[in-house]
Chain A
Amino acid sequence: MATVATPSLLGSPDMLMTLLSAKTRASIQKLLKELPVVDETAYLWTDTDPAKGWQPGKVHWIPVGRDRGNAGRIQLAGDPYNPSAERLINGMEAIIELARQVELLNNPSASSPQSPRAAVERYFKLPRLDLIPRTRDKDARRTLEDRLREVRRLLVMRLEFDKDSKDFSVEIRDQGIGQAPERVHQTLLSLGNTDKADKPYLIGVFGQGGSSTYAASQYSVIVSRRSPQFLEGKADGIGWTIVRKIVPKGRRDPYYAYLAALPDGRVPAIELTAMTASQFEPGTMFRHVGYDFGRQGSAVARTLFYALNHVLFSPVLPYDLYASKDKPDPMHGTAYRLARQTATLEKDGKTVLDNSFQPQIVAASI
């Protein structure tokens, strides 16, 4: 089994704890000072000879997607909420992919679900979420709501605000398939290298929506662990890295770079022990630190609830949002909230309309 050559500090169990608790710019900067990081001016990555100037045993800044001109593909969002939603979409896909791979493990000839919703129905027994409040059979509705509660826990977004530094951090943690340390650079840190197009049950198409979160934050901490059933010969462990924006002196073309352990782009890995395994269940965590919401204070927490529900208007999977508090808000999308509201109003005898028209053909000639 191949292993990632990771210096001891970078791969120590303490490293995992440090990463999981780093939620402010200051804590990340402190960590970077302690790590053997080669300054971005001392090592300049090139796609033709990435090993040139590489200092073994240290971590180096490599452009995300191994594309020096990546800023144009990352700085796409015009709004702080859309990138977070894209990350949630990534999380949903990881959860669905895990279910699909489990299915294939048991039945290699199982046909592929033809849409994300079909996949969710097949693997999680959930219909489109806004149909749940409209299900008239009480027992059936209660069963679906219970299932909704269980599934929600697989994907969590956590907003935290540090009063001293005034830093927001946004963490998206999924219990999906995760990535082996050796594959993190080819998957989570790729830009546009997607294998989703031939998987109709996945959501994204362009393979880069989530990367816009790098532009919305000062630092992004990425930690991922592959579900052990699907290592496909890769070394087990917990891959991690940190992403930040680099603005080279005297140049006006910034780029986004991550910490790599090897010239081929592989990220550092933490050895899997009984302790680290319990600290980080399979799946992926993206934590975006110093997130720019454009304004400070508690209003962000309130707005996030509405904004995410609107952007992910009818999400294929539910998720939990911890918006600067210990108790989660169940996030089912505005379509669900509307359906629940109209069902309640109808029960109260209010005049309300909630009418769905079934699929209808769109003809260009009409």
Chain B
Amino acid sequence: MMTSGTEVTTLEPPQSDLGTIGVRVVVLPRKLDGAEAGGNDEPTDLTDEENLSEGGSSPVASYLERPKTGKLCCVFLVNGQRHEGMDNAFIVQQLGFKYLRKRMMVIVDVDGMRPEALGELMQGSRQGFYRGRVWDAIHSRLISTLKADPELQKLEEEAEAEVSELQAGDQKVKDALDTLIESHHQYADHVVSGKGDESGAQDANDVLGSAATSPQSLVSLLSDDQGEPSEYPVLVSLPDTTSLWLKPGVERFWVITSEPLDAWPALANFTYALDSKVPELHISEERLQGSAILRLRFDPPDDFDTDEYPVRTTLRVFARFKGYQEPRQLAVALTMKPPTPVIDPVLVDDPTFIKVSTREPVPLWLGGADTHVRIRWNGSDDLTLGPSPRWTFKARCMTSTRAGLPSTFSQPRKGRFSLLVSLTPDARLGDNLRFDIVATGPNGKTLTTAFDAVVAERSQRPLPEPRLIAGNVPVGASRRPPYELKLVERENWDNGTAFGGENWGAEDAAAYQEPTEKRPLTLIINKDMAALEAFRKFLVARKLTENEIKARLQKYNSHVYFHLYQMFQSAQTLIGKEDEAPERPPTPQEQRSEIHRVSMTLLNLMQVAR
């Protein structure tokens, strides 16, 4: 894009120069969930003057040729007219930005190509470029420019973390129930009851909780110089980090899963603990089908003494997997402090400095992609805009080895920009290079800076592996008793699992089976209860979508299960205290009536709800 007169000078320009291209990359924010569902028919940038839209599901949908079916998110322009395009397979496969594929557009301006090269590219039919040597050269340059772009890489990492939290599966009801229980019991006593699926065949004392800790061996993913070799599964996190920064009042997610992923269903217990207590730090847990999310929020009171910043602690997550003796541990260092206010730099029309802000010597990585060297200056961004910009930049490799080729500059944004440097095939590991950068403005005014660089290779760090180490593991109560969710159908109504060991009937809504030595608390819903059956028909008659129907039934199930759970908890507190408590434990008939009442209330409410 001929946006600026920026020049990139090398000691010896490539012999086979085909001309120049300009590249622009745009990444839009992820749409909100509601918009992603496809209900948003308006591009967010429409002005009053513009047309109505066809809705699309991705953030870039309204910038494609056809919002609902458009694919060309990477376009090649000749005099502003699109002559070629690629779909987001290029973004995923060639650039490696899988999670940005629906939010990213790449615009390549080939106006600067030499006429003969353009002649090779363009077809009279306008049906795309000829995919020969010129195309191949442009394609390679494009990949080199974007593949190692640190800003794109950062956005990709953030997007990956966001996507993880969106994963949900068949266990929606269970997850919802867990959440209900957790929120209900946040300040209640923790109890342990029963055995079975959730807790495995462990002794109650071994069940992980959130109370005190005791020394114990545990397994973590570490380098091979720590502890003793052990075995998978281990706990891993997204983002894959050992530290998190929590800004006051801002919730962050830490997603924990297992490696291998398919070990997660064997999770028997899961808990977490802080090395040092931080009262202002609130942590809530949400379980999904293949992971758990810890939501972390640091909420200091208004009178929190700012001298206490930064507040630091370590959050440790512990889990037991069925069939493995040692608990698994994952730790992350938490730093809580407010962000340093970002002050927009003071930019002027008559800039006075330019400097390289990447730490020197700048590593120029072998491997094909350009290295982005960060630069700052105090000139207004507008100074470099337009076909005849007031200021231009020039970069040179001063070292005679010719191993580094400045390839382009990015457009300054708030005074920050990058110089892209590619390496020639002659570049050798360890080569030291020196570059200078000159900004030239009106009346020949110049600003200069220079930087040292070294040709480097990304070291292949030894992959961490499961290691057995000594640690402290929380012991005590589980936050909630293990339970199992069941549905009973008409054909199994005579199995004697309704309250009081009775068989089921069309009026029975649900029942629970108390935990035993071999089985956890079992919560059972009568899937073919007459009123529930009628409710399903009602939903179908309203022509709701399959997903909407499913969501409503899940809501019903999770609330009925929750009420059953509460009934069980309540009954437990009264057992053995018949003489002391003002209330006696409910009879099976009373329990049957109670859950029937709850079920009917729910169904009635959901019928009148929109």
Which positions in A face B, CB cutoff 8 Å? 76-78, 81-82, 85-86, 89, 115-118, 121, 127-128, 130-131, 134-137, 140, 203, 205-206, 208-209, 299, 301-303, 305-307, 310-316, 321, 323, 327-330, 333-335, 337-338, 340-342, 344-345, 350-366
Contacts and interface: CB of A to CB of B under 8 A. Distances in A.
Interface stretch (B15-23, B468-476, B564-572): B15-23
B233 to A, nearest CB: 34
A188 to B, nearest CB: 19
A314 B149 CA distance: 24
A350 B59 CA distance: 13
B29 A350 contact: yes
Nearest to B392: A358
Contacts of B16: 363-365
Nearest to B368: A366
Given A127-B385, A131-B386, A358-B409, 15 more contacts: A76-B125, A136-B382, A137-B382, A307-B65, A310-B82, A315-B80, A327-B49, A329-B50, A329-B51, A338-B26, A353-B25, A354-B24, A360-B8, A361-B20, A361-B407
Given A116-B79, A341-B45, A354-B24, A366 B137 contact: yes
22 contacts: A76-B124, A76-B127, A121-B387, A136-B381, A299-B54, A306-B64, A313-B77, A315-B80, A329-B49, A330-B47, A338-B26, A342-B28, A354-B25, A354-B27, A359-B6, A360-B23, A360-B141, A360-B145, A361-B407, A363-B18, A364-B133, A366-B144
B247 to A, nearest CB: 14
A211 B89 CA distance: 33
Nearest to A323: B51
Contacts of B398: none
B226 to A, nearest CB: 36
Contacts of A307: 65-66
B75 A364 contact: no
Given A335-B24, A338-B63, A355-B411, A362 B113 contact: yes
Nearest to A131: B385
A363 B6 contact: no
A-B CB proximity, top 10 nearest? A360-B408, A363-B14, A359-B20, A314-B80, A341-B45, A310-B65, A356-B411, A358-B6, A364-B16, A353-B27
Output the residue of B17, B125, B381 with the most chain A CB within 10 A.
Answer: B125
A134 B112 CA distance: 22
Nearest to B422: A366
Nearest to B23: A357
Nearest to A350: B29
Contact of A356 (B24, B54, B386): B24
B236 interface: no
A315 B81 contact: yes
Nearest to B413: A355
Nearest to B407: A360
Contact of B385 (A116, A134, A363): A134
Given A341-B28, A341-B45, A358-B3, A85 B81 contact: yes
Nearest to A335: B107
Interface of B: 1-4, 6, 8, 13-29, 43-45, 47, 49-54, 62-67, 70, 72, 75, 77, 79-82, 105, 107, 109, 111-113, 117, 122, 124-127, 133-134, 137-138, 140-141, 144-145, 149, 151-152, 155, 158, 380-382, 385-388, 393, 407-411, 413, 420, 422
Contacts, number: 249
A118 to B, nearest CB: 6
A337 B26 contact: no
A330 B49 contact: yes
B109 A314 contact: yes
B81 A313 contact: yes
A78 to B, nearest CB: 6
A313 B382 contact: no
Nearest to A137: B382
Contact of B387 (A76, A117, A342): A117
A78 B53 CA distance: 24
A109 B127 CA distance: 39
B204 to A, nearest CB: 47
B131 to A, nearest CB: 14
A208 B125 CA distance: 9
A175 to B, nearest CB: 20
Given A344-B45, A354-B24, A357-B408, A306 B62 contact: yes
A117 B410 CA distance: 20
B119 to A, nearest CB: 8
Contacts of A358: 1, 3-4, 6, 8, 22, 393, 408-411
A265 to B, nearest CB: 23
Contacts of A352: 26-29
A125 to B, nearest CB: 11
A351 B161 CA distance: 15
A86 B51 CA distance: 21
B105 A338 contact: yes
Contacts of B17: 361-363
A364 B124 CA distance: 23
Contact of B3 (A76, A131, A321): A131
A333 B50 CA distance: 12
Contacts of A365: 14-16
Nearest to A299: B54
B110 to A, nearest CB: 9
A362 B81 contact: no
A358 B109 CA distance: 10
B261 to A, nearest CB: 28
Contacts of B29: 345, 350-352
Nearest to A317: B80
B111 A115 contact: yes
B126 A359 contact: no
A76 to B, nearest CB: 5
Contacts of B387: 117-118, 121, 127-128
A362 B126 contact: no
B44 A341 contact: yes
A128 B107 CA distance: 14
A88 B234 CA distance: 61
Among B151, B411, B420, the one with the most A-chain Cβ atoms within 10 Å of its Cβ is: B411
B496 to A, nearest CB: 58
Contacts of B6: 358-359
B79 A203 contact: yes
B485 to A, nearest CB: 39
A364 B45 contact: no
Nearest to B138: A362
A232 B70 CA distance: 47
Contacts of B411: 355-358
B81 A311 contact: yes
A305 B45 CA distance: 14
From A313, A333, A352, name the one whose CB has the most chain B CB atoms within 10 angstroms: A313
A355 B15 contact: no
A82 to B, nearest CB: 6
Contacts of A306: 53-54, 62, 64-67, 70
Given A78-B127, A305-B51, A330-B50, A364 B137 contact: yes
Nearest to A342: B26
A163 to B, nearest CB: 19
A60 to B, nearest CB: 29
Contacts of A303: 54, 66
B474 to A, nearest CB: 36
Contacts of B44: 341
B179 to A, nearest CB: 28
Contact of B410 (A78, A206, A299, A355): A355
B94 to A, nearest CB: 15
A134 B384 CA distance: 12
A278 B1 CA distance: 41
Most buried by B among A78, A116, A121, A306: A306
A360 B21 contact: yes
Of A137, A330, A358, chain B has the most CB atoms within 10 Å of the CB of A358
B19 A362 contact: yes
A333 B63 CA distance: 9
Contacts of A140: 382
